[in-house]
A = this chain, B = another copy of it.
Amino acid sequence: MPIRPLELHPDRLLPADPATRTLARELYRSVADLPIVSPHGHTDPGWFAGNETFGNATELLLVPDHYVFRMLYSQGIAMEDLGVRNRNADPRAAWRLLAENYFLFRGTPSRMWLDWVFAEAFGISVQLNAETSDLYFDTITEKLATDDFRPRALFDRYGIEAIATTESPLDTLEHHAAIRAENARPGGWQGKVITAYRPDPVVDPEFVSDQGGFRENLATFSEVTGEDCLTWHGYLAAHRQRRRFFAQMGATSTDHGHPTPRTADLSAAEAEALFTKVSKGSFTAEDAELFRAQMLTEMAGMSLDDGLVMQIHPGAFRNHNARVFERFGRDKGADIPSRTEYVANLKPLLDKYGNEPGLSVILFTLDESTYARELAPLAGHYPCLKLGPAWWFHDSPEGMRRFRRMTTETAGFYNTVGFNDDTRAFLSIPARHDVARRIDCGFLAELVMEHRIEDWEAADLARDLTYNLVKKAYRL
């Protein structure tokens, strides 16, 4: 295994045709250094509140990144050996497993993001493989111990203008409070870290986690809010109260990770009866689905009142691998996308609120067959609907290209909302935004080459797709 140089080519991800590439390069240069606006993600606000150093290479780059360990697992490598839910794993040995199997990532976005992190963030100039495994582990681990690699320093270094984290209504948001206190302190750190309201743990009757399920969460919800969350009235009031509190902590959006985008518009009496059923814990799968559906419509109504932008992230079959879920818990690479239907499912919500000028709902999908068929036509008509970017498994060069090719002709660019990195892998954030900028500029260059837009329009659009649309859509 020879040692090979690691270099990020300046033209990476730009179209191969020389004239198109020249155009794309020019567009990319005009947006490459714009600030990063990250309106949806899963970083830990505690990082920015405490500003502690990160641990070692494995702890930062391998253990929390389910994109990485799911691929290794798919080839028979035990997650325990990678340090996932296993504090006894040797981090250096775990890193070596990644290094030896790094070829598995050829052609994947993880490879591009990681190489960016290695080269740009850590200044490593050789490729990762068995030979260089220890060099990597030591270099990264050493640098992480320095002040330059503390969370706030990295935040500033990568030009993050604002970042949103995602919290449950049960979260106290103490880290966000601490960050805001720091922001307000004379001479204090000025990084903008906001929260987003993700009520799944108290909205989904089938929610399960190590920390307890739906009924335990309702009890906590009552404690946290002082409302009686075992009554429909108190439960809704608790949501309103926490949404207000989240907004005070900077939130401009809510987020809903439902299995499907089903919505409902029950009468008050029906909704109350349904809530009674699910809150008592004796309900069918259909009851649970209907309750989630009703809650999307309730949340849309609350958004009309408090102005929070609503994000709907449907279509993941969570925790598909029963054994992995038992042993390792949620978010361990075993969430699998499912076929998703929007047209009938969204109708109840849209019938009620779809023409309200104050409402903004951002739709995501894991089912690309809905891009051209359902989502672009919906967003190209309803004033309240916008399309979130290519998401999760589709947050990749080919995935982003398909998104643009399949949505632009019907929804245009201005019913989309810029890029989301949606990650808990902090250092991959600039890498991911860089990929998105390159792919968008390549797509725009192709449109110019085919004389479908003019060059000055492409320049406008590059800036809009990178910076302006996200700020507008998320009311930042």
Contacts and interface: CB of A to CB of B under 8 A. Distances in A.
Interface in A99-156: 103-109, 111-112
Contact of A453 (B106, B323, B350, B409): B106
Contact of A383 (B74, B320, B354, B355): B74
A398 interface: yes
A320 B343 contact: yes
Interface stretch (A42-50, A201-209, A362-370): A362-370
B409 A109 contact: yes
Contact of A414 (B9, B104, B320, B460): B104
Interface in A30-70: 70
A379 B409 contact: no
A13 B357 CA distance: 36
Interface in A377-418: 377-383, 385, 393-394, 396-399, 405-406, 408-415
Contacts of A461: 106
A100 to B, nearest CB: 13
A336 B73 contact: no
B76 A412 contact: no
Oligomeric state, in copies: 3
Contacts of A454: 4
Interface stretch (A15-23, A89-97, A185-193): A15-23
A317 B343 contact: yes
Given A109-B409, A373-B367, A412-B108, A354 B321 contact: yes
A322 interface: yes
A298 B156 CA distance: 57
A351 interface: yes
A289 interface: no
Interface stretch (A159-167, A249-257, A444-452): A444-452
A359 to B, nearest CB: 11
B409 A107 contact: yes
B19 A412 contact: no
A317 B344 contact: yes
A324 interface: yes
A347 to B, nearest CB: 7
A74 B382 contact: yes
Q: Which 4 A-B pairs have the closest CB atoms?
A: A12-B451, A9-B451, A16-B449, A396-B409
